[in-house]
């Protein structure tokens, strides 16, 4: 989308609302299929100060992490072994609390995700979670388990999280603000 001093990409889908995300120093807009370009531009203009602030924060974060040394294979192996002990215990604890079942748990070292949940109930977690406080690990575990009830990020999904872990937003924000440097160290 032209006429902005920043790069803008638009993804249209069956969604009902418009959202903005700052990704790799660019602006990603997710919009409903039916929304006109001029309405997207109006929305971007309304959010201009927010966009510029977050682009600057993103630039600062990228500057901080550009010279970080990658994790060694040995470090990743140790983190994976530790995660294989800690995360299943946390998953069992929270699965009982919210009343859900799951299938398999896999520990990986993904470059972009802290966790995921498939529609079959398979859970994946990043071994780098072991570098964070237990509350951060719990926030990711609970997030993925709540997808067993709601495979979306609706208000019902977040209400489910809040019932069990009222401080979720605090730790989710902590991971958002501090996690990029760790992910950047993956080869």
Q: How is the chain split into domains, by residue range?
A: 8-65, 73-183
pLDDT digits (tens, 9 = 90+) for 110-136: 988 999 999 999 999 999 999 999 999
71 pLDDT above the threshold of 80:
yes
CA distance 70 to 48: 35
Q: What does the buried/exposed string (b/e) look like for 42-65 if buried means 16 or more CB atoms within 10 Å of the residue's CB?
A: eebeeeeeebeeebeebeebeeee
pTM: 0.73
Phi, psi angle pair for 143, to nearest 5°:
-55, -50
pLDDT digits (tens, 9 = 90+) for 9-66: 899 999 999 999 887 778 999 999 999 999 999 999 999 999 999 888 888 877 776 7
73-183 falls under which CATH superfamily? Metalloproteases ("zincins"), catalytic domain (3.30.2010.10)
Give the per-residue pLDDT at 69: 86
Give the per-residue pLDDT at 62: 75
Tell the residue number behind the tokens 């709601």, with chain if given. 150
8 A C-beta contact, residue 64 and residue 177: no
Nearest CA to 127 out of 143, 96, 105 is that of: 105
Identify any residues that bridge with 140 across adjacent strands, giving them in sequence order: none
77 pLDDT above the threshold of 80:
yes
């Amino acid at each position: 989308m032209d006429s902005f001093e920043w790069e803008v990409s638009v993804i249209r889908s069956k969604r009902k609302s418009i959202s903005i995300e700052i990704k790799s120093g660019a602006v990603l807009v997710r919009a409903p299929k039916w929304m006109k370009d001029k309405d997207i531009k109006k929305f971007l203009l309304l959010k201009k100060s927010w966009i510029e602030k977050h682009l600057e924060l993103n630039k600062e974060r990228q500057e901080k992490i550009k010279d970080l040394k990658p994790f060694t294979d040995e470090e990743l192996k140790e983190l994976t072994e530790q995660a294989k002990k800690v995360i299943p215990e946390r998953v069992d604890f929270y699965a009982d609390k919210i009343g859900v079942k799951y299938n398999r748990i896999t520990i990986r070292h993904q470059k972009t995700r802290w966790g995921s949940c498939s529609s079959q109930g398979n859970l994946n977690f990043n071994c780098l979670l072991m570098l964070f406080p237990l509350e951060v690990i719990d926030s990711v575990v609970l997030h993925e388990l709540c997808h067993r009830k709601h495979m979306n990020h609706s208000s019902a999904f977040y209400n489910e999280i809040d019932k069990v872990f009222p401080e979720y937003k605090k730790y989710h924000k902590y991971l958002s603000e501090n996690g990029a440097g760790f992910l950047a160290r993956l080869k």
